[in-house]
Amino acid sequence: MRTTRLTQLMFVLGIGAVALIPLSGVNQFWIFFITVSIVQAILLASLNVTLGYAGLISLGHNALYAIGGYATAYFTVSIGLPVGFGILLGLAFGVLAGIALALTTLRARAVYFGIITLAFLFLTFETVSKWEVLGSFRGFPNIPGLSVGGYVFGRNEYYWFALGVFVLAMGALQQLSSSAIGRSFVAIRENEAAAASLGISPFGTKTLNLAVSGGLAGLAGALFAHLSGGIFPEAASFTNALRLFVAIVIGGTGTFAGPLVGIAIISTVDRFTVNWTTAQPIIFSGMLLGSLVLMRFGVVGTILTSRLRGLFLRLPELEIPVENFKRTKRRQPRAKRVNVLEVMGLAKRFDGVQALAGVDLSMEEGTIHGLIGPNGSGKTTLVNCLTGFLHRDRGRVVFQGREVKRARPHAMARAGMVRIFQHPETFGRLLVIQNVMMGLHLRSDRNLFRCMLPIPSRRRSEQELLGDALSVLSRVGLADRALLPVGSLPYGEQRLLEVARAMAARPQLLILDEPATGLTSIELVRLADLLRELRSSGMSILLIEHNMEFVMGLVDRVTVLERGECIAAGEPDLIQRDPAVVEAYLGERIPA
């Protein structure tokens, strides 16, 4: 989604007005106060990257901020490095701390992630308040201000410097949020499994996210240290963490303007309750709970979900390129067909249930291969083992001539094996077109630095990908649904959307787990046509389906599973007459 001209104009005018404040001759206290707010806004934007975009519940984000502040304090005061260098080191230490945090939260989900970040905050607080090298409880009281080549930055100059850094940071974040990396953050927030199935590594994405947000938080901490001339253990206190939640919850998570509004409100409250420190935490908690009751999405979120949204948010106008389908080039039929997938003796056991007992399957390139069998025969388990959502106990898998040792979901997607799930796994709160864009992840520019810069060529390729996503959508007949929230689609259309999303990734092997469930007869015909078309473009498709008419009219070969074993494989019409299959699958034949 894009911000409107109005939002952009408001941002530019706002920055312009703020930049002029020092010239109006207000007193130095206000200059200091606003600089602090600007620095805090950078910190809050950093929290927004983690909490808002990636949905990672970071409860101790100011630990990263304190680490940045302490880093620059140590290197400028104790080592004697120049201040500019110290600020960069603050950023670098923030990045490192973010990565360290990501490593420790490798397997932690949801609330456990939050607990680890909270423990990390207390650990940081204990360390800085006890460690003599960092001044223990006294902190660093005399940190020099910024000076570059003999030119000393006064209050006003530092104000403009902080504002400049802020504008650059917000610009970079704005670019990032509309890039493939920004989308991958949202993808792991909405649905990790679906993200992994499209080649987005959940762990890699979390690490990148925390590195970016750690860097920003570290930068904010360093800027603050040189602004106030001191850094103390309180920077890593829980009270400060609380202020951050209040600001982000009141402002609204996951939006560009949310943190700015949040910090403005919290700074104002700070200013007017400064002589009333006992009550401050209560006021903050009250605001927190109150805003949860009154405005669930914060000020900005509430505006965006109200009738005013049109003023601030613009849905992209999509032109549906019905005429120029970008069809993938047909591959020349090779003289000798090769096997795209080769499975030998694959076995998987769940406590006491032998779900798969040595399954063999081989699939020719450019064919549609049916995988059928009664409920509980192990079809989905086989797919999960192939795509790395489960780990097989035994057996070999060769995909495109390469042996797969240990499959991991995102790695299999990168290797060219993309699946859809048996039950819809959509990115729930996003629009239909945004769901399809996730399928384009592996084909987008994912270089962090290019994604943070306004590079025209990246913009153009993003536009092309958007066009691609639309043409894929129109191939499944959902073009007119592009701008609807995915949750509003009926079941069958959600299935088609998932097919479109997987197709968009242009895999070599597309695995469809019961795609026809819930489709109308018209949609079924369209899906069948689409799959034939994909096959003729050279894609291989493994199709799991219960609708026999659909399967048998479409596939080149069929493998039949029963109780985790392969009981037959071959041409569809032969399989349909195979007595073992008829008995196991369709029941005993009644003599005519």
Residue recorded with tokens 């020349």? 332
H helices of 306-406, where? 309-312, 379-387
- CB-wise, 190 or 513, nearer to another protein? 190
Per-residue x/- track, 329-368, another protein (CB under 8 A): ----------------------------------------
Please count the CA atoms within 13 angstroms of the CA of 32 that sit on its side-chain side.
9
Q: Which of 253, 381, 434, 444 binds another protein (CB under 8 A)?
A: 253
- CB-wise, 43 or 343, nearer to another protein? 43
Question: Minimal CA–CA distance to 208: which of 91, 88, 54?
Answer: 54
Residue 256 CA, chain-centre distance (Å), reads: 16
DSSP-derived letter for residue 449 is H
411 interacts with another protein by CB under 8 A: no
76 interacts with another protein by CB under 8 A: no
178, 192 contact by CB (below 8 A): no
* Strand pairing category for 540-544 and 368-372: parallel
Start-to-end Cα distance in the chain: 62
293 interacts with another protein by CB under 8 A: yes
Question: Minimal CA–CA distance to 438: which of 412, 469, 407, 409?
Answer: 469
485 interacts with another protein by CB under 8 A: no
427 interacts with another protein by CB under 8 A: no
* Strand pairing category for 368-372 and 313-314: unpaired
Contacts for 55 with CB less than 8 Å, ≥ 6 apart: 188, 189, 190
Per-residue x/- track, 79-108, another protein (CB under 8 A): -------------------------xxxxx
- CB-wise, 35 or 207, nearer to another protein? 207
26 interacts with another protein by CB under 8 A: no
Q: Which of 38, 41, 43, 51 binds another protein (CB under 8 A)?
A: 51
- CB-wise, 114 or 467, nearer to another protein? 114
The site for another protein, by CB under 8 A, has a size of: 42
Q: Which stretch binds another protein (CB under 8 A): 155-163, 196-204, 283-291, 537-545?
A: 283-291
Q: Which stretch binds another protein (CB under 8 A): 122-130, 160-168, 370-378, 396-404?
A: 122-130
120 interacts with another protein by CB under 8 A: yes
CB of 276 to another protein, least distance (A): 12
- CB-wise, 59 or 91, nearer to another protein? 59
Burial 436-446 (b: 16+ CB within 10 A, else e): bbbbbbbbbbb
Burial 276-304 (b: 16+ CB within 10 A, else e): eeeebeeebeebeeebeeebebbbbbebb
279 interacts with another protein by CB under 8 A: yes
133 interacts with another protein by CB under 8 A: no
Residues near another protein (CB under 8 A) are: 51, 55, 57, 59, 104-112, 114-116, 118-120, 122-123, 126-127, 130, 192, 238, 242, 245, 249, 253, 278-279, 281-282, 284-286, 288-289, 292-293, 296
